[in-house]
Amino acid sequence: MSGAICQVTIRGRVQGVGYRAWVEHEATRRDLEGWVRNRRDGSVEALFAGPEEVVSAMIESCRRGPSSARVEAVQEEAATSDALNLRRAGERFSVLQTI
């Protein structure tokens, strides 16, 4: 796969407000590959893979999130294709269990 692979951590009021479902919907709508999951520290972590401009637009959207969320910070870093292996077999984009 060519393009960008980026892992993001979103902090703020992002759990219990439909943030993971929103990320899954938005990423699927944009035809991105990857995954999203809650973390026990209250943040949400996601991995997006696809064309660089689409990944960048998705990360920008994560800075707002769904209307019920209050995003305080988005940390992003480059990732490798190995990180895509966390997805469930046969899925382009997965919602993973909390870690």
Question: Residue 38 catalytic?
Answer: yes
Out of 13, 38, 39, 70, the active site residue is 38
pLDDT higher than threshold 80 for residue 1: no
Q: What is the pTM of this model?
A: 0.94
By the 8 A CB rule, do 8 and 67 touch? no
- What single-letter amino acid sits at 48? F
By the 8 A CB rule, do 94 and 32 touch? no
Task: Catalogue all structural domains in the chain, each as residue range(s) with its CATH number.
Answer: 4-83 (3.30.70.100)
Mean pLDDT of the chain: 95
Out of 11, 13, 20, 85, the active site residue is 20
Question: Residue 63 catalytic?
Answer: no
